[in-house]
Structure 1
Amino acid sequence: MRFGPLSHPQMSSPRGLHYRACAGPEPCVLFQKGICMNEPNAIELVACIGLDWADRRHVICLQATGCPEAESLQLEQKPDALHEWIAQQRVRFQGGKVGIAIEQTRGAVIHALMMYDFLELYPINPKALARFREAFRVSGAKDDPSDAELLMDMLRLHRNRLRAWLPDTVETRRLQILAEYRRKLVNNRIRHTNRITSLLKMYFPQALDWAGELGTMQSCDFLQKWPTLTAIQQTRPAQLRKFYLDHHSRNLALIEERLAQIRTARSLTDDPAIVETLSLAVQAEAAQLRPVIEWIPRYDHIIAQQFALHPEHELFESFPGAGPVYAPRLLIALGTDRSRWASSADLQSHSGIAPVTEQSGNSCWVHRRLACSNFIRQTFHEFAAQSIQWSSWARAYYDQMRDRGLRHPAAVRALAFKWIRIIYRCWKDRQPYQEEIHLKALRDKRSPLAGKLD
């Protein structure tokens, strides 16, 4: 997860990405400030800590409030050592608030630190630390002790510009971990099917038609039974027919067509060095793909159960096209803390849907936002694409963007920009979305979309 709307002047925008269509009256880039020390309700930290974590040992730089000197130490990456050190700090500072700056938003160290109420965690974007380091070390020198000191200085000197991390509810965090890992399984399925496609094209392209849709159990069974053209041509037609029927392929005409093609097919190559090695690779990929296919429905079932138990599931189920996949992901994106997002523009920037505007003199450049959570950006983008089938105004707006010359991805992105404003207002008011109310608002405002809805 990325923190803050960061941009880089050398980031290029791919051709055809019309981000100006997303522009609106609200600013696209917001700088999120955390607790300001000048606010009356701000809690003063009794100590600032910079923690540079690693797999084997952690480097810590600590400076107590009012103390001119900083302390440095190292801890082994062991739960007992970390918890013992935290307990010592609780006793030392008598339970006062201790701030910790760390280059991590999730992982072993964060999981351990979030258990303690007297610790206030400040995740630092690695890019922000790198820029901070370059400001004082133009040589590019880097080591763990100096990074820990820089993290501590960022917190001690610029706390008013940092945002404290507060964990969401247990139900929401559980859904987040489940949904994110499900997406990783889907990505693995895509990765394996792409590899299988590439391998088959090099020696057995007919299998792409005969095995059925890749990414299914039928295709895995087919490729593990018959990884070569010779193997399948030596199989009796009755056995092949039974295979398709056992895998719920009920199109008898298609089955007979495939059997006829198998009888008369010619191999792309007979070179044993190619056929034998690539067929083994296909079988290996199919074997790895099988458990991924099995686990995705299991995750879907668990996510559906957990989402149904979440107190805010009805709100996110109300958005057209959200369904069992995107409704939990929208909930994860917004969370349950209503003070988390100051405005819809804040959420648009964090999600990466809002573009970055760079202006210098008479030149203005609008380009894609790269410093964001890919999972969150993907959530809003894919939900917007789904909503086109279920929402009349979403279809009208998408068609309007296409008529203006935008390609499909840019039109969907512009629609997602609009959806975030609506989702944010429903979330802020704790009111489920109602299509009729939104359509009435469009007509009352005499929106150009209203004419396309009649």
Structure 2
Amino acid sequence: MRLQSALKLYFPQALQWAGTDLASPMACDWLLKWPTLAAAQRARPQTIRSFFYARKCRSATHIERVIAALPTAKPLTQDVAVLAVQPLTVQMLAKQLQLLGKSIAAYEQQIQILFRQHPDAFLFESLPGAGKTLAPRLLCAFGSDRARYPSAQNMQTYAGVAPVIERSGKSCWTHWRWNCPKFLRQTFHEYAKVSILYSTWARAYYDQQKQRGKRHNAAIRSLAFKWIRIIHRCWQTRTLYDESLYLQTLAQRGSPLCALIAEPA
């Protein structure tokens, strides 16, 4: 990151004091207010406290650590050329990040407005853990045209979640699909990962795959494969997802997942 690189040249302390996320509003505000160590050292302790409090940072440990470190902090360099140019670069980048943050917020607001207006929004809101971020992405993944994906396999293959099986003579091997929309695959991968925290059977299925020797990402892809089948069914029939109903179905079918779900945590 260019901003991080610039700070490392003359003001590395800001990487800890301004916050770990340099793209955050608080970090940008800090760098615009105190772009150099000398500028920060001129600030009174109460000014530092007020700065953090105004930005909802109430970590007394962090605030007092910054205040205690300021008087004895040593500049990394006294090079006039560096100190004349790099603070300007830092402030320029901080302003750009502030503008970018506002633009992203505007996009997110518009996404929520359009999502709420879509007739299928309620379907994707019912998915455990989808939330404001993944529910719109999943809706966009499936779209409104039910004829485009007549079966779950169509989506699994197109999204790159379904593995590729190749055969040659007596040999047979399986690998993941390289040629696919990467963001679409990432959407299902991210949702499957999040669902582990909110869905009982999803957690059990993930644990089952891990017990069978699969690595984390492979287990998540397997879970995404199952979720696509479930979401596709809800999407085609315009039916809300019901976790309790799905658990009942698993029990009726005698699924091995039921034993894992019944195990004490």
Output the TM-score relative to the length of structure 2.
Answer: 0.90
Gaps of 5+ in 1: 1-193
**The structure with more helix, counted as a fraction of residues:** 2
Alpha-carbon distance in structure 2 between the residues aligned to 1:400 and 1:441: 18
Greater C-alpha radius of gyration = 1
Residue 105 of structure 1 corresponds to none
User: Which of residues 215, 220, 239 in structure 2 aligns to 1:407?
Assistant: 215
Output one character per residue of 1:272-319: Cα deviation in whole Å (capped at 9) or x when no partner. Answer: 444444333322221111012112232222222221221111111111
1:166-185 equivalences under 5 Å are none
User: Which of residues 296, 309, 329 in structure 1 aligns to 2:137?
Assistant: 329
1:188-207 equivalences under 5 Å are 194-207=1-14
1:207 maps to amino acid: A
2:131 maps to amino acid: G
Instruction: Find the residue that maps to 2:6 and give its secondary structure.
Output: helix
Alpha-carbon distance in structure 2 between the residues aligned to 1:196 and 1:409: 31
Gaps of 5+ in 2: none
User: Which of residues 233, 254, 259 in structure 2 aligns to 1:451?
Assistant: 259
Answering whether residue 15 of structure 2 is matched by residue 208 of structure 1, we say yes
1:85-164 equivalences under 5 Å are none
Residue 257 of structure 1 corresponds to 65
Report the CA distance shift for 1:309/1:197 in structure 2 as closer, same or farther (over 3 A): same
Pairs aligned (count): 261
1:19-418 equivalences under 5 Å are 194-212=1-19, 213-418=21-226
1:208 maps to amino acid: L
Instruction: Find the residue that maps to 1:285 and give its secondary structure.
Output: helix
Q: Which has the higher contact order (CA 8 A, sep 6+)?
A: 1
* Residue 419 of structure 1, CA deviation: 0.5
Output one character per residue of 1:128-152: Cα deviation in whole Å (capped at 9) or x when no partner. Answer: xxxxxxxxxxxxxxxxxxxxxxxxx
* Residue 342 of structure 1, CA deviation: 2.8
Residue 49 of structure 1 corresponds to none
Alpha-carbon distance in structure 2 between the residues aligned to 1:444 and 1:201: 60
Report the CA distance shift for 1:408/1:271 in structure 2 as closer, same or farther (over 3 A): farther
1:303 maps to amino acid: I
Output one character per residue of 1:239-278: Cα deviation in whole Å (capped at 9) or x when no partner. Answer: 2222112222223342112111122222333334444443
1:197 maps to amino acid: Q
* Residue 351 of structure 1, CA deviation: 0.9
**The structure with more strand, counted as a fraction of residues:** 1
Alpha-carbon distance in structure 1 between the residues aligned to 2:91 and 2:214: 42
Alpha-carbon distance in structure 2 between the residues aligned to 1:406 and 1:208: 38
